[in-house]
Chains A and B, each alone.
Chain A
């Protein structure tokens, strides 16, 4: 059978085949029998990076939220779908977190908060809690010293939560991360670890009482703003709260801040699978709703 190479259909078929080959070969498999696997991987990465840059530019033509908050749920279920241990799911979750922070930085979002570990997560198995603490210790140090985000983009790390519940080693890692980045002027990253909103509010109420006893505040002047100023998260109220994995609850996270006018998005995808496409959809939805939100605030 002869093929007429000058026909438009033949060229279209050839182009489609080549594109399909690049996509298949570039699917980041560790071992591939396809030739030019590395080159195709590079092409695919560049294409997706370029697409992302274009989409970021498109989003930046509209309003960008100042503060976005994530409940990174679904790491263990993701690991189960991949037939891996729970710890691997948390590691995949961390890698996706660095990607998400990169996107947020590119978009110009100035504050990002993430719910890394809840106080009631201590009820999980001892092995898993220990693995999470080890992960936190290593990754906090890695973020503070070797990550591109901190070095190139000047990210400031704040570890928010009841640190007295952590071991000395983890507390030192948290202090190290904060100390290393305290003079950075870029995006602020609040890592809530270990955290619960009710603990945060109680802490703020305690601080108010201490400041009144010390004469810093008059008891007659105690109001919502005085309490809000003493909350642990030192960022404006989140514009958007995103929870992955399809669960539809707050799980005691940033209740004081999010119960006001935060745009709440529950996304039915596990955190390690949270992609830029989801981010794009969330931001466009928020941009559409923004005027209504501001109208209601007034």
Chain B
């Protein structure tokens, strides 16, 4: 039986060699070697994919065994939950470093629908609510939430309505109603504004691709017009001038931490100018919930050493 199988294989190889035309022995050997290497490469790719899935499964199992961060904000206000929530808030505030400005890259709609990362996230409005709650819990003053396809801006009114009535957000703010400033490219809304407070407790910006590359191109056009009209000389276009013109109108710094919620380690055309000094933490679909992802990122950020080129 074995001899028959070997004979059939040999015949197949000979037929293949004949059909492919006469070739030198060296070429045939090269082709066979390439074929063997291709098989090894596919095996290596399969091994990597299995390893990655295994890692995600292990991480998921570990997080399931641990504390459910999301339940602390979504659960009823029992004494035990209140105590744990306070402990969590104290822990976050006591971290050696926390970002003043946190940026979160959410996957766009077509990616959520088609890829595993969609399992960790619920809906866009829910995600913004969770992120807002976590921002208040960790006392982060500025949060930018980015989607490449600008889907968050289209849901601006829904997001504002959700934040206005959100129990989760109130729980994160010690049971009080926070003052939230919600901003998109052409809309600004102050939610639950107190008459005695002009400074929002958290400022949430909904970013899209338009905040990045098109903004820089638009600035280039404006400066070119000024040069053309004689109001400015080209040598006056320095890095400081460009930085000044691209600066956030509220004077907010660039994000110190960018949280990339995606299995693929790509920036999805995030505004490039704003990335200059940012730490980047990627969290994939192995996390159980968005709250766990934010908590993990903040803890990792606390341990990072920033050297600023020195």
A-B CB pair tally, cutoff 8 Å: 170
Chain B residues near A289: list those with CB within 8 A: 264-265
> What distance in Å separates the Cβ of B99 from its nearest Cβ neighbour in chain A?
13
**Total number of A residues with any Cβ neighbor in B under 8 Å:** 59
Q: Are A296 and B272 in contact (CB under 8 A)?
A: no
Q: If A206-B237, A284-B44 touch, does A212 touch B33 (CB 8 Å cutoff)? A: no
Q: Are A248 and B279 in contact (CB under 8 A)?
A: yes
Asked whether B221 is an interface residue with its Cβ less than 8 Å from the other chain, the reply is yes
Contact with B along A195-239 (1 / 0, CB 8 A): 011110110111011101100000100111011000000000000
Q: If A57-B33, A250-B280 touch, does A209 touch B272 (CB 8 Å cutoff)? A: no
**Total number of B residues with any Cβ neighbor in A under 8 Å:** 57
Q: Are B242 and A205 in contact (CB under 8 A)?
A: yes
Q: Are A226 and B217 in contact (CB under 8 A)?
A: yes
Stretch in B158-166, B177-185, B224-232 with 4+ CB within 8 Å of A = B224-232
Residue of A62, A205, A261, A289 with most chain B CB atoms under a 10 A cut-off: A205
Asked whether A285 is an interface residue with its Cβ less than 8 Å from the other chain, the reply is yes
Main secondary structure of the interface of A (DSSP, over half): helix
Asked whether A288 is an interface residue with its Cβ less than 8 Å from the other chain, the reply is yes
Asked whether A249 is an interface residue with its Cβ less than 8 Å from the other chain, the reply is yes
Chain B residues near A196: list those with CB within 8 A: 276
Chain B residues near A208: list those with CB within 8 A: 220-221, 223-224
Residue of A120, A197, A222, A226 with most chain B CB atoms under a 10 A cut-off: A222
> What distance in Å separates the Cβ of A295 from its nearest Cβ neighbour in chain B?
9
A261-B239 Cα distance, complex, nearest whole Å: 25
Residue of B37, B214, B220, B232 with most chain A CB atoms under a 10 A cut-off: B220
A255-B304 Cα distance, complex, nearest whole Å: 21
A259-B267 Cα distance, complex, nearest whole Å: 5
Chain B residues near A258: list those with CB within 8 A: 267, 272
A256-B214 Cα distance, complex, nearest whole Å: 12
Residue of B111, B212, B213, B266 with most chain A CB atoms under a 10 A cut-off: B266
Q: Are B45 and A261 in contact (CB under 8 A)?
A: no
Asked whether B40 is an interface residue with its Cβ less than 8 Å from the other chain, the reply is yes
Asked whether A84 is an interface residue with its Cβ less than 8 Å from the other chain, the reply is no
> What distance in Å separates the Cβ of A260 from its nearest Cβ neighbour in chain B?
5
Given A196-B276, A205-B220; 20 other pairs, CB 8 A cutoff: A54-B37, A60-B37, A61-B38, A121-B309, A123-B310, A198-B242, A201-B273, A202-B239, A208-B223, A209-B224, A227-B217, A250-B275, A252-B276, A256-B216, A259-B271, A262-B267, A263-B265, A284-B41, A284-B45, A289-B264
| A residues adjacent to B (C-beta < 8 A) | 54, 57-62, 118-121, 123-124, 196-199, 201-202, 204-206, 208-210, 212-213, 219, 222-224, 226-227, 247-252, 255-256, 258-266, 281, 284-285, 287-289, 292-293, 296
| B residues adjacent to A (C-beta < 8 A) | 33-34, 37-38, 40-41, 44-45, 48-49, 111, 115, 212-214, 216-217, 219-221, 223-228, 232, 234-235, 237-239, 241-243, 264-273, 275-282, 304, 308-310
